[in-house]
Amino acid sequence: MRHRAYAAAAAVPDPEIPCITVADLGILRSVDIVDGVAVAKVTPTYSGCPAVLAIELAVETALREEGFEARVERVMSPPWTTDWITPEGREKLAAYGIAPPAAASNSIRALFGETQVDCPKCGAPETERVSEFGSTACKALYRCTACREPFDYFKCI
When divided into structural domains, the chain yields a total of 2
User: Looking at residue 47, which CATH number applies to its domain?
Assistant: 3.30.300.130
For 17-50, write each residue's pLDDT tens digit.
999 999 999 999 999 999 999 999 999 998 888 8
Same domain, 39 and 102: no
Cβ neighbours of residue 75 closer than 8 Å, sequence gap 6 or more: 29, 41, 42, 43
Same domain, 25 and 69: yes
Cβ neighbours of residue 15 closer than 8 Å, sequence gap 6 or more: 51, 54, 55, 58
Structural domain boundaries enclosing 131 = 85-154
Same domain, 57 and 93: no
In this prediction, residue 66 has a pLDDT band, given cuts at 50, 70 and 90, of very high
pLDDT of residue 134 exceeding 60 = yes
Report the SS3 class of residue 50.
coil
Same domain, 146 and 90: yes
Same domain, 70 and 6: yes
For 69-128, write each residue's pLDDT tens digit.
999 999 999 999 999 999 999 999 999 999 999 766 544 444 455 678 999 999 999 999
Same domain, 7 and 64: yes
pLDDT of residue 104: 61
Residue 57 lies in a domain: yes
pLDDT of residue 113: 57
Domain boundary among 74, 96, 122: 74
pLDDT of residue 95: 95
Residue 80 lies in a domain: no
Domain boundary among 12, 43, 74: 74
Same domain, 110 and 57: no
Same domain, 68 and 97: no
Same domain, 9 and 67: yes
Reported pTM: 0.83
Cβ neighbours of residue 99 closer than 8 Å, sequence gap 6 or more: 93, 117, 118, 119, 120, 142, 151, 152, 153, 154
